[in-house]
Amino acid sequence: MAEADEKAKLREQLRQLRPQRFTKDPFLHLLSIPQIREAKVITSYISYGLEPSTSSLNAELLENNKVVLLPRISHNSLDWVRWSGDFEDLEQRGNLLEPIGESEKDLSIIDVVILPALYIDKDGFRLGKGGGYYDKSLPLLNAWKIALVHEGEVGDDQLPVEPHDVSVDAVATPNNVRVF
């Protein structure tokens, strides 16, 4: 439980710093990463609030003929739903915009997972918002995982790690990509 308490404190500290770090940079440099360039099916998310912006990135992924799947909260985990790029195919759920439609049943088709984070440590472990949805969903996906964060949200330290935590393969800031 000590790790969970420590992570909760870190989340609060990072949330307080996020307004100073926020930028609407489009993360389009991800399109040149081989894993993304070669992928056919990519999960992404619709950013909100002070999260790294995905609107331009999602549009470019679709423009580059990628199949884009978006997460939908279901039974304390995530389902993945194909998205055409039409905002009419999304519905508001709290702060989130979630896709409407059938969930993808064959998760083996997913090549890349683009996901949000508050912070990434030196080993690629991610501090999320605390809901645990990605923690439950990532072990089900045999895909290359890249987290999006703002400058100053990648560290050379080590986060407290719990048994359910899954590391990412890479992290992207608005200007750089770091592969673990």
CA distance 81 to 170: 23
Mean pLDDT of 109-114: 98
Amino acid occupying residue 170: A
pTM of the shown model: 0.90
List, for residues 118-172, the tens digit of each pLDDT value: 999 999 999 887 677 898 899 999 999 999 999 999 999 998 888 888 899 999 9
Residue 23: the pLDDT is 77
**Which residue range(s) make up the domain with 60?**
2-179
Residue 6: the pLDDT is 81
Domain with residue 158: its CATH number is 3.40.50.10420
pLDDT for 24 beyond 80: no
pLDDT for 113 beyond 70: yes
CA distance 45 to 72: 9
Which 3 state secondary structure label does DSSP give 68? strand
**The two structure tokens encoding residue 32:** 């040149």
Three-state secondary structure along 12-27? HHHHHHHHHHCCCCCC
CA distance 45 to 129: 14
List, for residues 54-97, the tens digit of each pLDDT value: 999 999 999 999 999 999 998 888 999 999 999 899 999 888 89
CA distance 127 to 14: 10
Dihedral sign of CA atoms 98, 102, 106, 111 in order: negative
Residue 46: the pLDDT is 95
Number of domains within the chain: 1
Mean pLDDT of 32-52: 96
Q: Any idea which residue has 């590391």 for tokens?
A: 167
Least confident interval from 15-29, 32-46, 71-85:
15-29
